[in-house]
Amino acid sequence: MATSPIDVYRRQIERELQAGIATEHTHRPALMTLIESLSPGVTATNEPKHRTDCGAPDILVSRSTKHGMMRLGYIEAKDVLTDLSDKEKSDQLKRYLRYLPNLILTDYLEFRWYVDGEARGDPVRLARVAKGGKLAPEKAGIEAVSQLLTAFLSHEAEAINKPKELALRMARLTHFIRDMIVTAFERGAASATLRDLYKAFETALIPDLPIPQFSDMFAQTLAYGLFAARCNHHGPPGSFKRLGAASEIPKTNPFLRQLFETITGNALDDEPFAGSVDDLAQLLADTDIGAVLADFGKRTARQDPIVHFYETFLAAYDPKLRESRGVYYTPEP
């Protein structure tokens, strides 16, 4: 009888525990191997330390498609025997639950799945730690963990075809990007490119610009620039990507187009928040942008709904900021 991938995983965790020197990082290769074995074309990537230090989850899970890698979700892994109920209350997990649509929290033996910040079902447990690192399997543990991980890997967000829903989802990811930029500066992890951009914003826009305000402006620029590029993208469904987005910024906005050549190209790859920008690009790739613009155009009777979508986005991102900037557009008959 063939051994299931989850049973192979359990035995590997047991061997590592019995060695007596295991940490939460020790078990990650076994977990990533398990994830990849459960579905063809799936890749689990251990996020680099400079990203996790600035607020990214531990493991990114993606699937290969004809348009490249599609991001499925994230896994945050804690050490075996960590109290996951306690971790749920941490600022880190609250932030992940607020911003990430598909997330697993695990101590390698217990698994908790969240969609849009809400728990999906009860926690499931593969085994319990006994004396000497021996694992005592839970009854039906293999089946329960298999079902949870399979559901996580097959989860698809509902298709977006309304401006308000797109604005809410964009705002959530933009907040996450902003927070990671702030953390990068606080921890001295901001790249030379990011520091140069801060100086440029400070020189051109606001002297003595506070880092949180710069992070806010920069994150919004990324989000809205990607939206503008997506509206001008004419490739097959699902093919829109961060790389190449600058060429799809309307030529009528040369400042944004030039800025985007700097902030969305290969130079962004090593930034701590690059993964979240890719998440934003994928969100836009999966959006029925024609339906969004048609719906928005019907309600506003405007010729340029791309411009006026900014009001909808700001209302979701920061209503107080919208009010302070006076960003309101009155629908025309």
Contact status, residue 52 vs residue 58, Cβ threshold 8 Å? yes
Residue 239 lies in a domain: yes
pLDDT digits (tens, 9 = 90+) for 166-211: 999 999 999 999 999 999 999 988 888 889 989 988 988 888 999 9
d(CA 266, CA 162): 31
pLDDT at 306 exceeding the cut of 80: no
Strand 59-65 vs strand 42-46: parallel, antiparallel, or unpaired? antiparallel
Q: Are residues 149 and 291 in the same domain?
A: no
d(CA 75, CA 200): 36
Shortest CA distance to 171 belongs to which of 327, 11, 7, 322? 322
Q: Are residues 95 and 76 in the same domain?
A: yes
Range scoring the smallest mean pLDDT among 28-37, 143-152, 274-283, 293-302: 293-302
Same domain, 58 and 142: yes
Q: Give the pLDDT confidence score for residue 98 in this predicted structure.
A: 92
Query: Which tens digits make up the pLDDT trace of 67-119?
Result: 778 899 999 999 999 999 999 999 999 999 999 999 999 999 999 999 999 99
| Domain shared by 110 and 205, yes or no | no
Same domain (yes/no): 138, 221: no
Give domain status of residue 330, yes or no: no
Instruction: Let me know if residue 299 belongs to a domain.
Output: yes
Same-domain check for residues 10 and 150:
yes
- Residue carrying the six token digits 């964009």: 170
* Domain end (from 125, 154, 183): 154
Which pLDDT value is given to residue 299? 57
Which domain covers residue 285, as residue numbers?
163-325
Distance from C-alpha of 9 to C-alpha of 272, rounded to nearest angstrom? 30
Q: Does any domain span residue 333?
A: no
- Is 255 among the domain residues? yes
Domain endpoint, select from 90, 119, 154: 154
Number of structural domains (the chain) is 2
The string of DSSP codes covering 271-319 is STTHHHHHHHHHHHHTS-HHHHHHHHHHHH--S-HHHHHHHHHHHHH-H
- The answer as to whether 240 is a domain residue is yes
Handedness of CA 100, 101, 107, 112 (dihedral sign): positive
Residues 11 and 140 in one domain: yes
User: Does any domain span residue 332?
Assistant: no
What DSSP designation does 115 have? E
Q: Do 80 and 170 sit in the same domain of this protein?
A: no
Q: What are phi and psi of 179, to 5 degrees?
A: -60, -35
Residue 19 within any structural domain of the chain: yes
215-273 pLDDT, tens digit per residue, is 999 999 899 889 989 998 988 878 899 888 888 887 877 777 877 887 777 777 888 88
Residues 214 and 314 in one domain: yes
- Do 190 and 133 reside in the same domain of the chain? no
Is 170 in the same domain as 99? no
* Domain finish residue from 108, 129, 154: 154
Whether residue 127 is found in the same domain as residue 169: no
Tell me what pLDDT residue 2 has.
58
Angle between helix 254-263 and 192-204 (nearest 10)? 160
Q: Among candidates 194, 166, 163, 193, which has minimal Cα distance to 178?
A: 194
